[in-house]
Structure 1
Amino acid sequence: MSRQPSAPARSEPGRPSTVRSLARLRPYVAPALPRIVLGMVAALLAAVVALVIPAVLQLLVDGPLSSGDTAQVWPAFAVVLVLGVVEAGMIAARRRLVLTPSTHVEATMRNALYAKLQDLPVAFHDRWQSGQLLSRSVSDLSLIRRWLAFGVVLLVVNLLTIVVGFVVLFFYSWVLALIFVVASIPVFVVSLAFENRYSVVARRSQDQVGDLATSVEESVHGIRVLKAFGRGKHSLREFAKRADDLRGTEIEKAKAISQLWLWLLLVPDVAFALCLLGGIWLAADGQLTVGQLFAFFATATVLRWPVESIGFLLSMTFDTRTAVDRFFEVMDSVNTVTDPEHPETIAEPLGRLEFEGAHFRYQDSPAQFDDLVNGVDLVVEPGETMALVGLTGSGKTTLLALVPRLYDVTGGRVLLDGVDVRHLTRAELRRHIGMAFEDATLFSASVRENVLLGRPDLVDDLVESERVLREALDIAQAQFVDELPEGVDTRVGEEGLSLSGGQRQRLALARAIAARPAVLVLDDPLSALDVDTEARVEAGLRRVLASTTSLIVAHRPSTVTLADRVALLENGVVTAVGTHSDLLATNEHYRYVISSLDDGDVPSREEVLA
């Protein structure tokens, strides 16, 4: 099965700029934008207040301290104290304004991503690693939230503070300010060059985080297999290799950031030294008062933090740009299984199921490969039970998946009561179709919630929900749930792995039965059951199937006996349809397939056909 590649992103001419990428957040950020802007205003006011304090200190140095009038010191002290309190208040206001709305943006984006993942077809999930999707929905969105609450606010405010601060520096001394500005130019040059290098490494790092999450998830889900085959150390080596690759990428990121920090720390120090030398000369020459020199350096000190912060704020911004790109990779994915613009409806479904020249092949299948379903023509009448039999790879499971539109046909049609299933909304179609898979998947919820998953209409009807639940459990021979610690309210654990394979299959079968569908689609739902339990389940199923149209993939001869008719699949084509006894008498390939389904030794094709 192919997977979505996680190769490192590369700078390409057509790649959107950082600003354009981040601008795609606008629909999600719009409700929070007023408070974020107010947070920026509060932060900017705090910065302006900080720049005013050196002006007060200038007046203090050139006035009371120069004249020896100590009585004027206390008013200046009071002004500085008030300005300091105002600055602290503005910083606190900035935090209060931006923290809550940024969490709302994160929640909105996470809900949108989850809804998109639920809406995208099975083919999408076949291609993508679950760890990649997990890292996008957790770490990437968390990074975007932190950038909205902290990064973008301080980046904008600090840039404006630098501009305002440079203007103030020119007010004190244009010569010293010019020296300071010219000495700071390398910082901006290095910052621009930093983007190209860092963006590529940041993308590779976040993709590798997704790969690492996939490794953990696969190891946890497959822990029984790893322990059974003694491959824990092998899995650890594979994990350690991926972790080491991520470590190397993180070191490369750290080196890029450290080179930027070198300039961010060195340049201001050099600028301070040059300005100090020039300031002393100007003050000695009488072109600059001591108070002005003091205020100049106090202002330059205030500007030091905004200048130094540019480094990590830029790296945070580029990380966020990558996170946004990764988020929209999923959100931009095209859903090929969609609802029709003008849907039809089936008021009272009878359950007549028909395949008309149905074809299916995966989009990325090589051209020389045949379709998995290659022109199937088959009709299942209302109330009829049809078994699908065939050798492995003949297309049985794929054919079943076309009924509820887990995949869409690539040719021909599938009809329910004469209506093309693509002309129904997916919600209505799946209300009429119930499905149970061989690989039974349960959710980390109670037995009751798992079985009644397809009956949201019974949430508020406790009496009817209990009756439907009990009936489905009885038919599926799942009375074992009463022996669980809390009965039907027992949580079955992640994917139901706390239960045996047969128990999971019976609960999955009960879930399909409880949905009361017009068409029941079963993909070998009894494969994990023992013979006695299977016989009891089959007896219960006969009661259900008597009034329900059913399409069953059969991997056991006993399952075939449930069916009114049998369809034989060979290389994606239905080659024969009839009763079990008729096909046994007339079709050699059918006899071979049925013989291969026996629990005993499987004879060769030549032995069966002899």
Structure 2
Amino acid sequence: MLRYFEHLIDPFIAEEDDPPTGLIAFYRHFLQPVWPFVAALMAAGLLVSLAEVAIYSYVGRLVDMMSKGQPAGFFAEHGWQLAGMALVVIVLRPLVNAIQTILSNQTLPPALTARVRWLNHLHVIGQSYSFFQNDFSGRIVTKIVQTGSALTQSITQVIDALWVISVFVVSALFIFADVSLVMAVPLVIWVAVLASLAAYFVPRVRKRAAAASEARSLLTGKLADIYGNIQTVKLFARDGREEETARTAIADQTNRLLDQNRLLTTLSILLQFSNALLIGATGAASVYLWTHGGMSAGETAVALGLVMRLTVMSGRVMMTLTGLFDNVGTVEDGMRTIARPHGLIDQPDAAELVVTKGEIAFDHVGFAYGGKTPVLRGVDLTIRPGERIGLVGRSGAGKTTLVSLLLRLYDVEAGAIRIDGQDISTVTQGSLRAAIGVVTQDTALLNRSIRDNIRYGRPDADDAAVIAAARQASADGFIAGLADPRGRTGYDAHTGERGVKLSGGQRQRIAIARVLLKDAPILVLDEATSALDSEIEAVIQEKLETLMEGKTVIAIAHRLSTIAAMDRLVVMDDGRVVETGTHAELLAAQGLYAALWARQSGGFLGDRAPHEIAAE
């Protein structure tokens, strides 16, 4: 039965609209499709509160009936009233409590939390590459996870506080006023004090909660950064330094939490004093009225019972309110990160890229990463269909930036890039990247099986195609011997986070297998064999020849011998193309390429000019 209620809401229905940046609009964005269940939970909460008040009323009536009646004829005289009370207490109250519990535990909060996290993930995963470069991945994850639970909890807290305050306080006021206005005075004063405390403390808790949430996210991000780079920490013996980094982050988060708790502690103390005064004043008024015949014993029992219940619930109400604004503060904090508009988007009428030949044209491309210092300065370069070029230049010359712009990880700031005459800024990012296979210098793998990592290149590939790609990349030999701590072996073995359980050469061969399986018409090799030893590199180079057959290829390599046989070499310096030609032509020109070649083939030669190197 419970499974039925668990599947009433599908949390994984995608939304076309992005999360808005306004707080109310942000809540409405996620709640609009599930409002019937929110209304049902509110109705159940109302019925539960009314049933609770009814029980206190029944206690008073029962005391009065017993004090005025005779035991012998009690059931005959009050049987129907007792049956009605029993129906409410034994049947209706447990039933509405059960409905509220099911809606609270099985239906709304779990699905709503999952929905918020899912939609926020969809939005964040669509952010530009630079979005992730400018933040801690652990911090972003924390924002997504915290915001989902905080938004859901704040909704349930609103419902709890709404009925507790309205039903119990209003019912008590009517009951007390019906007996005597004297009885209502302490309650009215108490409600006014409670409202004043809430007005003062709750907004301040909200602000400090947002600060505590940000500190918590930064702590998570810093710890994830340390653990994600643990090899560097160990190699440089910086355990102690990172202890200080973690200590500072933990201390900051703790201090933020203490700032928030100071308010909560002060509020709790003041609340206890106001509750004590309410109990004392109500008790004194009840006894006075009873001794003067203005109140029955049953009414006294109801009054004291309701007051005791209110004082107990007042702490819950205030904690609910502060918890509500704590969660609202967390949502606001998360919203500032999550709901940012996408920095790099497809045009509304973006078409799918169609690669017919594979020609790539860089037309006066300029780029500065949004800064003032250009990284690329008016690059003009046309790569013919099926041509294999090597990009050469010193570090920082702009080679990888040029490739990043081709993949549209960033938008060009001047000029245009075209593939078969189609401006890549006018086509969908998905179709563009589907047409380009990439093997980068820094190869990171997902913490999944070897099979899943290779199949990432073509998700619909069968096992035979995966194994064939691994064999073609000379990876099948070491894959057969892999085993992980859970006993999975071979293609089922998991790689560890970012592939840390594999050597650099093994990771790169898995990446090459992945691109082989993808079989895209354009191929980018960014230091594709940099992590391989000479023997394996020779094998891979032979396989890459097969991979490059019929494709347009851009290869970046600092080790010039790996790209010397390309159809054409393009030499970059200071963001410009300064030389183009074959290996032999560039050596004969005695320019920058000749200098770089001589340094690699004849040792480091300092800053001697190319003609001096060539003369040797």
When normalised by structure 2's length, the TM-score is 0.89
- Asked whether 1:415 is paired with 2:418, we answer yes
CA distance in 1, matches of 2:93, 2:475: 71
The CA deviation at 1:177 is 0.9
CA distance in 2, matches of 1:40, 1:600: 80
In the alignment, residue 30 of structure 2 is paired with which amino acid?
A: Y
Alignment match, 1:340? 347
In the alignment, residue 94 of structure 1 is paired with which amino acid?
A: Q
The CA deviation at 1:292 is 2.2
Alignment match, 1:438? 441
Instruction: Confirm or deny: 8 A CA contact 2:136 2:225 kept in the other structure.
Output: no
Alignment match, 1:603? 605
In the alignment, residue 52 of structure 1 is paired with which amino acid?
A: A
Instruction: Confirm or deny: 8 A CA contact 1:478 1:503 kept in the other structure.
Output: no
- Kindly provide the CA deviation profile for residues 517-555 of structure 1, in whole angstroms up to 9, marking residues without a partner as x: 111011111111111211221122122223111111111
Identity %: 24
What SS does the aligned partner of 2:443 have? coil
The CA deviation at 1:331 is 3.9
CA distance in 2, matches of 1:425, 1:78: 70
- Taking a change above 3 Å as real, the CA distance of residues 599 and 22 of structure 1, as seen in their structure-2 partners, is farther
- Kindly provide the CA deviation profile for residues 562-582 of structure 1, in whole angstroms up to 9, marking residues without a partner as x: 421111111111111111221
The CA deviation at 1:278 is 2.3
- Asked whether 1:137 is paired with 2:140, we answer no
Moved more, 280-289 or 238-247: 280-289
Moved more, 381-390 or 44-53: 44-53
Alignment match, 2:104? 98
Alignment match, 1:493? 496
CA distance in 2, matches of 1:503, 1:447: 11
- Asked whether 1:316 is paired with 2:316, we answer no
Alignment match, 1:16? none
Alignment match, 2:245? 238
- Kindly provide the CA deviation profile for residues 312-358 of structure 1, in whole angstroms up to 9, marking residues without a partner as x: 11122112212322343244222232222223345453111110011
CA distance in 1, matches of 2:353, 2:187: 77
What SS does the aligned partner of 1:483 have? coil
Alignment match, 1:158? 164
Instruction: Confirm or deny: 8 A CA contact 1:475 1:537 kept in the other structure.
Output: yes
- Asked whether 1:118 is paired with 2:125, we answer yes
CA distance in 2, matches of 1:256, 1:609: 76
Alignment match, 2:4? none
What SS does the aligned partner of 1:383 have? coil
Alignment match, 1:34? 36
In the alignment, residue 385 of structure 2 is paired with which amino acid?
A: P
- Taking a change above 3 Å as real, the CA distance of residues 601 and 181 of structure 1, as seen in their structure-2 partners, is farther
Instruction: Confirm or deny: 8 A CA contact 1:172 1:296 kept in the other structure.
Output: no
Alignment match, 2:523? 520
CA distance in 1, matches of 2:522, 2:179: 84
Which runs of 5 or more residues in structure 1 are unaligned? 1-18
**Match runs of 1:445-460 below 5 Å:** 445-458=448-461
What SS does the aligned partner of 2:284 have? helix
Moved more, 381-390 or 94-103: 94-103
Which of 301, 306, 317 is residue 308 of structure 2 equivalent to? Answer: 301
- Kindly provide the CA deviation profile for residues 488-542 of structure 1, in whole angstroms up to 9, marking residues without a partner as x: 3322222111100111111112212221111101111111111121122112212
Instruction: Confirm or deny: 8 A CA contact 1:478 1:507 kept in the other structure.
Output: no
- Kindly provide the CA deviation profile for residues 137-195 of structure 1, in whole angstroms up to 9, marking residues without a partner as x: 223322333333x4222122212222333233322322211221113312211111113
Instruction: Confirm or deny: 8 A CA contact 2:278 2:307 kept in the other structure.
Output: no
Instruction: Confirm or deny: 8 A CA contact 1:524 1:555 kept in the other structure.
Output: yes
The CA deviation at 1:595 is 4.0
CA distance in 1, matches of 2:481, 2:401: 37
- Asked whether 1:568 is paired with 2:554, we answer no
**Match runs of 1:240-279 below 5 Å:** 240-279=247-286
CA distance in 2, matches of 1:96, 1:475: 54
Instruction: Confirm or deny: 8 A CA contact 2:30 2:116 kept in the other structure.
Output: yes
Instruction: Confirm or deny: 8 A CA contact 1:473 1:507 kept in the other structure.
Output: no
Which of 360, 365, 380 is residue 353 of structure 1 equivalent to? Answer: 360
- Asked whether 1:509 is paired with 2:512, we answer yes
- Kindly provide the CA deviation profile for residues 103-152 of structure 1, in whole angstroms up to 9, marking residues without a partner as x: 1111112111221222111011111211211111223322333333x422
- Kindly provide the CA deviation profile for residues 340-379 of structure 1, in whole angstroms up to 9, marking residues without a partner as x: 222334545311111001112223x2x3xx2212211111
Alignment match, 1:89? 95
Instruction: Confirm or deny: 8 A CA contact 1:384 1:546 kept in the other structure.
Output: no
When normalised by structure 1's length, the TM-score is 0.90
Alignment match, 1:484? 482
Alignment match, 1:474? 472
Which runs of 5 or more residues in structure 2 are unaligned? 1-20, 484-488
- Kindly provide the CA deviation profile for residues 376-413 of structure 1, in whole angstroms up to 9, marking residues without a partner as x: 11111111111111111111111111112111111111
In the alignment, residue 45 of structure 1 is paired with which amino acid?
A: L
CA distance in 1, matches of 2:591, 2:40: 79
- The number of residue pairs the alignment matches comes to 581
The CA deviation at 1:235 is 1.4
- Taking a change above 3 Å as real, the CA distance of residues 115 and 210 of structure 1, as seen in their structure-2 partners, is same
What SS does the aligned partner of 2:351 have? coil
Moved more, 259-268 or 26-35: 26-35
Moved more, 281-290 or 172-181: 281-290
Which of 389, 392, 399 is residue 386 of structure 1 equivalent to? Answer: 389
- Taking a change above 3 Å as real, the CA distance of residues 390 and 47 of structure 1, as seen in their structure-2 partners, is same
